[in-house]
Chain A
Amino acid sequence: MIFGRKNRKPIVIPQKKVAEWKYSTCNYCSTGCAIEIGLGDDGKVVTSRGHAGADVNRGKLCIKGLLEHELFESPGRGTQPLMRDKFHHAFQPASWDQAMDKTADKIKEIQTKYGRDAFAVVSTGQLLTEEFYTLGKLVRGCIGTNNYDGNTTLCMASAVSGYKRSFGADGPPGCYGDFEHTECLMAFGSNLPEQHPIIYWRLKEAKEKRNFPLIVVDPRVTMLAQFADIHLPITPGTDCVLINSMLHVIFKEGLEDRAYLEAHTNNLSELEALVLDKRYDPIHAQHECGIDEDRIRTVARLYANAGAAMSIWTMGINQSTHGSDGVANINNLNLCTGNIGIPGGTSLSITGQCNAMGTREWSSCSGLPGYRVLENAEQRQEIADFWGIDPEFFPKKRGLTETDIFPAIETGEIKGLWLVATNPMTSMPNTPRIRKAMEKLEFLVVQDCYEDVETNQYSHVYLPASVWAEKEGCHTNTERRVNLVRNALPSYADSKPDFWIFNQMAKRFDNGHVIHFPDTPEGAFEEMKTLSVGSDRTLDISGMSYDKIEQARGIQWPYRASEEGRKGQQGLRGDPRLYTDGKFQTPNGKANLICVDFVNNNEQPCDEYPFWLNSGRVVEHFHTRTRTGKIGNCNKYSPTPYMEMNPDAAEELGIQHQQYVRLTSRRGDAVVMVQLTHRVARNAVFIPFHFHDCVNRLTLGLLDPYSRQPAFKQCSARIEKVDQQEAARLNAERRAF
């Protein structure tokens, strides 16, 4: 008998002896999952776990979050500041003082020689909110360049722009709880299972408790598309045509919520006139967007007739030439069906980076802190007074975005650049052009957790930053929930928190002695609270404190000090939804219906470049792999770049599964391994964007006119056979991690 052994073997299972759990929020995407980091007796990280009592993730974590605590000591971390005179020289170690002095001197030198705006700062969505606020103070208040932006221009700018155009202000109006109430969900270019697994789980849970139809618009048969009740495999870039056509059906059949429209929106007749144009009759629209007329009508009726319907979207909308328009048009759809500010009815942009929201709210990239704008004299005055400086120091309108900063380096207008936690050498479209621009910089300072970040090839000063729970501060997630990262462990080697770096840099500028820079992130948070007070302001965090946030595992804004105690969860619940009263942040309080007339300016597949080139994320990697590429249990699922290609197309070209091919576009070339799958159309290919010297050597990235966000996802390419051994060698050489 197999059970009968007398001497059972000992059972040994690794034990993590946790002496203390530290509260944290995940530092990867914007879902905002709460994590507890387990520290051993010696203060070293031994494990982590999802916080089961946090509303967002309820204990669940995705692959990246589960393994995130392994990143603190991963290879390539920066250990000390580095300096050199030319980017082709070798780096020399430096002290923090030397590195900061040199940086400050160079900034001043460039500004004196070429003008204040000749030095640019490009930040990120990865820092903590207090750090963003401090960086904003430093750049807007001390350095005084107007060419200051975040890499959020690559991911969320269109959502911001669309929200502002429709509702008068940024800020996703819905929440994850809406899944529990909606009767129809439409996802545009959003692949939750891969990009936001925990949000997907919330959706799945909601569907298991009470099923509702899921409509997915995506040119690729993603996991979400496969699980959808209705999948609309749209022609790339034509979402606005589909939405206009849906609106056409809705207005034509009288399915719109006219009472809501008349009470709470501007521009109704113009929109109605536009969408009722015969171009957007499904009979004609079907040829443009690739979705047959019957399907368009079915979906329009389903959406309009649902008691509550919601839309979510991600990069499929944002990263296109009609990104901002797409967002505004989704807002149109929801306004027309009365689906804003009600449980289960919303326009919920699924954000990308962990703190894209934080940078939108507080970094001053696109204006001034707390959703204030440079164009408003009153708001300039307000901030100048609060900081104690002359309002004339501020520019009167917003400067260049990240995507315009690089062309300005190209043209010589910008001579110096400070990159904070971003890697444009991999992440920007058309990287051959970016590389050329980088070479022209007189001074580049790179501030990053990783010394081996590719952009560091061109830097003159490298500042090693601390990462995640080596620091303390807040994130804001997709549903406006402010959540806390507690400092769990000391900084790695001689790296420093970004907060400290900005504070120290401020001391080297005149206004740095005028403006108060609190010593702790919590001190900065208190300043932000003060700046957020205002009864009309949606972004009001004045009722929050670090302790309250931790106690509630995140609080959504608005959460006003004046209203403390009025809500559930022992008084710690912020507003789950915005615009519940139909009052918007526009001058007349009504939402704007935006007329989006679609003009197709995308690079289209042609004889020379016959394939649509699409790019996107995979679940195991984040951004440019500087973190996940070094964590084996993440990286092993895609350690090298690949391309999804349709087997029928491959057959014609004589290309086989797992062979290498060379892609060319009008910009450059790339070598990838082919994965044959019917997930993509015959005239389309998909390549993950995480890999250095890969898909972004090919992408065009036409800019959205409103958001200046690049259209990463629509351009064309050609596929060529290559010598397999040469390609394999090249592939191995290009993978430093």
Chain B
Amino acid sequence: MKIRLENVVKEFQTFRAVHGVSLDIESGELVALLGPSGSGKTTILRMVAGLEYADGGAIYFGEENATDIPVRERGVGFVFQHYALFPHMTVGENIAFGMKVSKVKRTPREIAARVTELLDLVQLGGLKDRFPGQISGGQRQRVALARALAVDPRVLLLDEPFGALDANVRRDLRRWLRKIHDELGITTLFVTHDQEEALDLADRVVILNKGKIVQEGTPEAVCRNPADAFVMNFLGDANRLDADIRGGKAYVDDIAFEADGVADGSGQILFRPADVTWREDGQGISAKIVRVIDRPDSRRVLAMTGSGQAVEFDTAPEFPHRKGEAGFIDIRRPRVYASA
């Protein structure tokens, strides 16, 4: 099922508003809505589900305008952030609930068979008669997914699906969810504030800030070509140096960088800590090492440029230089943006 959002608007007195978002999600695609808290990503997800009404714009499921279809008839599978499992029902009863209340009548035998099938799918075969309070967070998450899938939804929506889990459980579940998605081929939209999660899991990433889409594209596209300083910062650690932009060049301490198409005036150069080479002489911005921090697989260096701006970069563990030494910072893949 293809989903299309057309200029969707949602006003709140507080944050979490959405200001005109348009988005196409292809059938069978796995898309991440990525943004900091309050960026409106969960509101968008809830509007797609019908748990929130849009104040303007339209939402299409395929060719059908779904904007005013009530949540119960919309046919979405929704996995809540804290799973919202019914605590007084067993795992099996939770999964069966949607089928029991459905207008499509199923015999108890059919329901039981489907529950078993779903439990196998989410690899929880033995837990059918446990209560949600008796299983682990990762298991609850999978029950929530099975429950959502039980009603054969047209679209699967997940709100921060891994937010409440430990880091290693999270990684396993991520890969596993991707596998399930590939098996079922269901159109899936999920919300996350964790860029690693979005990049790891999604076919396409939609980055939001303050209720607007700031960039969308494949993980490769957004990583290699961040649209602005916000995206660059949000996707990972970045150094920022103030620069003067004059005639397609950006100057930092008299060192020039390519800045094609960036308007003259003040601007900034952003670059990843891994994209720096320390040189004892020659090219680069002059700097002094302030501190060296050891890490299991690398060495992080804190330095100060001649004009007093802080820079952090990663080097091999064998990096020989020490605090107080002077040298030059050579930047690969710098990105230049005009100041907002």
A associates with B: no
B binding-site residues for A, Cβ under 8 Å: none
A binding-site residues for B, Cβ under 8 Å: none
